[in-house]
Amino acid sequence: MANSATRTSSSTASDASLLEKLGVDIDPELLSLALTHRSWAYENGQVPHNERLEFLGDSVLGQAVTVRLYTGHPDLDEGSLAKRRASVVSTVALAEVARGISLGDHLRLGVGEDRTGGRDKDSILADTMEAVIGATYLSAGPDAATSLVLRLVEPLLDDPERYGVAMDPKTGLQELAARLERPAPVYTVESTGPDHDRVFTAVVRVGDHASTGVGTSKKQAEMAAALTAWRELNTRA
C-alpha cells in the first residue's frame, strides 16, 4: 500500500507540474487519461487510454489553427493557408511543441514502449498533445482549449520559415547548411526492438554538429533528427 500511495502522490505532483506549464485547469481524471498510452493500458488490464481524446483534440487543434490563419492572413490564398495549417498540425510540429513543455516526462507508457524510447517518439508525443487538447476542451470548454492551442503553436505561426521545415525537415536542413557554408548533412540510422515494434534512431551530422532523432521508421527518425539539427543550427546562426 505504501508503494501504491507513493506512486499516486508522485503522479499527482507530476501532473500538477504539467498543468502549470499548460496554464489551464484540466480535470485530474481526464488529464490522467490523456497521458495514458495504449501500451500502458494493455499492461494494466486493458484500462481506457487516450485515443478517443486524441480524436477530439485533433479536431479542436485543426479548427483553432484554421481560424487563426484565416483571420490573421487575409492576403493568403486557400493553397497557402492549407500548406501552413498542414505544417503546424503535423506530427513533427506537434512533437516539437510537446518537447517544449517536456510532455514526454509525464507519459504513462508500457514497460516495453518506455524502454525503446517511447517518451521521445514523434508519433506518441504528437498524439498525446492532441489528447491533452481534447481533455482541455472537455474540462474547461472550447474557448480555453482554443487559447491553449494558440499559445502552444504561436512560435510556429509566427515563424514562416518553419512552415517549410516542419513539412520537409531534411530539405530545410540541407538549405540551411548551404546558407551557413557547412557540409551537406550526413545521416546514420540504427534500429532496435522486434520486427513488429522497431525503434529507429537517426543521427545527422552537419560538419562538427550532430543531432539525434527517434521514430517508428527510418524516414521518421531522419526527419526528427533533421528538425532538431535545423533548430539548433538556426538558433546558433
Nearest partner of 67 among 52, 88, 50, judged by Cα: 88
Distance of CA 73 to the CA centre of its chain: 25
Active site residue 130: yes
Burial per residue of 150-181, b for 16 or more beta-carbon CB atoms within 10 angstroms, e otherwise: eebbeebbeeeebbebbbbbbebbbebbeeee
User: Considering 96, 130, 158, 197, which one is annotated as catalytic?
Assistant: 130
Within 10 Å of residue 115's Cβ, how many Cβ atoms?
A: 12
The C-alpha cell at 133 is: 487538447
Instruction: Summarize the annotated binding site as residue ranges.
Output: 54, 127, 130
Measured CA to CA in angstroms, residue 54 lies from 11, 67, 80, 125 at distances of 21, 20, 26, 11
What are the DSSP calls for 74-119, one per residue? Answer: TT--HHHHHHHHHHHTSHHHHHHHHHHTTGGGG-B--HHHHHTTGG
Instruction: Summarize the annotated binding site for Mg(2+) as residue ranges.
Output: 54, 127, 130
Cα gap 147→138, rounded to integer Å: 14
| Terminal Cα-to-Cα distance of the chain (whole angstroms) | 54
Active site residue 20: no
**Residues in the chain, overall count:** 237
User: Considering 58, 113, 122, 222, which one is annotated as catalytic?
Assistant: 58
Catalytic site residues?
Answer: 58, 130
